[in-house]
Amino acid sequence: MKIFWFIPTHGDSRYLGTATGARQLSHDYLKQVAIAADSLGYEGVLIPTGRSCEDPWVVAASLLPVTRKLKFLVAVRPGLHQPALAARMAATFDRLSGGRLLINLVTGGDQAELEGDGVFLDHATRYEQSAEFIRIWREILSRSHRGESLDFEGKHLAVKGAKLLFPPLQQPHPPVYFGGSSPAAHDLAAEQVEAYLTWGEPPAEVAKKVADVRARAAKVRAPTLGTDVSSLPPEGVGDGLGRPGAVAGRTVQFGIRLHVIVRETDEQAWAAAEELIRHVDDDTVVRAQAVFARMDSEGQRRMAALHSQGVKRTRKDLEISPNLWAGVGLVRGGAGTALVGSPQTVAARIQEYAALGLDTFVLSGYPHLEEAYRFAELVFPLLPVAVQHQLAGGNPLGPFGETVGNQYVPRASQS
């Protein structure tokens, strides 16, 4: 089990949908969140991408000197990046960070934003392009360890003599994470990435997605490292069926993107959830939902459907599965659900998702600095023992609070 946190490069606040309680988005604040995640033992941090965010690569690079072990899940976006340049950026970051890079492959879902960035492809074509992009990216990085170059001509992308002189530290390349809910997304995940991430849907729906991606991956005949990919059809790895150098079946890891609202009791957690959206008015919800509705992302459509596009803000309306709350998605795009409850409740829900085959949990909470501490202090001790040891960095002393009477180490409460 790997627990990730989130760097809020699109802003942070105590309340959603309002400037009340908002925080200045400064480098000092981002450093505070990163240092907290690093010192608390989170595996890594997700840095979001899009025009509402600061650039993830610049932010990640700026946080390297203030962190020690923290990994950075950083986006590449086909259409904005070229695969050879993205490979060079990844190799440089991976070496300079000591192997702390993870790649988040993002195809994009807001047509208006994409067109503003110069990308005019429809949903299906973007996935075709993304499949070629990550295939070229992977092969350039993999071949760099052997000093080899790559020729590739596909339907959307082509390179000739692409080569890296300085390979990444991780072999054959930094792991690739990817999320998407459409059949095209599941095909891409099955064929080309190391980890598939889903947004926080009810466990039964997550189980269906895991089973579908796993079944598709088992049917893939992916080229082994060193196969001449220029000889394979450009439509995708799955079209290399029966070719020499292919191996049957792939294994994909699974994870989930969730917000968390954890307090000492269930009642306090639900009160905090309702407090988070206390300043959201109906007009703000309607305007936000109108933006989300224009997107061609299947995942965003599924997020919006969890609260039926309605202006509903009570616990009864928004608790879509036990302790899974859709209130965040009223005004926030992307991940729109939160686990809400006591430490014991939230830990139990995490274990339910883990039982479905998920081993990566990418979490966030408002405000992100305090919630990073709160989740670590309240929930980490309830996770499996091996995970506790990993999160604590093997520290045999562990946290014990302020010394009592200048000489006594405090004990845990017996109440």
The pTM of the whole model exceeds 0.85: yes
Average pLDDT for 323-348: 88
Q: How far apart are CA 11 and CA 259, in angstroms?
A: 15
With pLDDT > 70 as the criterion, what percentage of the chain qualifies? 80
Q: Look at residue 51 and tell me if it is in a domain.
A: yes
Q: Which of 273-277, 289-293, 363-367 has the lowest mean pLDDT?
A: 289-293
Count the neighbouring beta carbons within 10 Å of the beta carbon of residue 382.
17
Q: Look at residue 299 and tell me if it is in a domain.
A: no
Q: Which of 196-200, 285-289, 300-304, 348-352 has the lowest mean pLDDT?
A: 300-304
Q: How far apart are CA 343 and CA 260, in angstroms?
A: 10
Average pLDDT for 356-376: 97
Q: How far apart are CA 44 and CA 316, in angstroms?
A: 34
Task: Rank 274-283, 302-311, 363-372, 376-385 by mean pLDDT and report only the highest.
Answer: 363-372
Q: How far apart are CA 60 and CA 46, in angstroms?
A: 10
| pLDDT the model gives residue 237 | 39
Residue 247 banded pLDDT, cuts 50, 70, 90: very low
The string of DSSP letters for 213-231 reads HHHHHHH-EEEPTT--GGG
Q: Look at residue 16 and tell me if it is in a domain.
A: yes
Closest CA to 35 of 72, 61, 70: 70
| Strand 150-153 relative to strand 2-6, pairing | unpaired
Average pLDDT for 322-334: 82
Average pLDDT for 68-82: 95
Q: Look at residue 180 and tell me if it is in a domain.
A: yes
Residue 317 banded pLDDT, cuts 50, 70, 90: confident
Mean pLDDT of the chain: 85
Q: Which domain holds residue 65?
A: 2-256
Q: Look at residue 329 and tell me if it is in a domain.
A: no
Q: Residues 403, 396: contact at Cβ < 8 Å?
A: no
Angle ∠(36,260,45) on CA atoms, nearest 5: 40
pLDDT tens per residue, range 120-162: 888 899 999 999 999 999 999 999 999 999 999 999 999 999 9
Q: Look at residue 268 and tell me if it is in a domain.
A: no
Q: Look at residue 213 and tell me if it is in a domain.
A: yes
Q: Which helix (H) or strand (E) holds 358?
A: strand 358-364
Q: Count up the domains in the chain and report the number.
A: 1
pLDDT tens per residue, range 15-29: 988 889 999 999 999
Residue 405 banded pLDDT, cuts 50, 70, 90: confident
Q: Look at residue 320 and tell me if it is in a domain.
A: no
CATH code for the domain of 107: 3.20.20.30
| pLDDT the model gives residue 75 | 95
| pLDDT the model gives residue 59 | 98
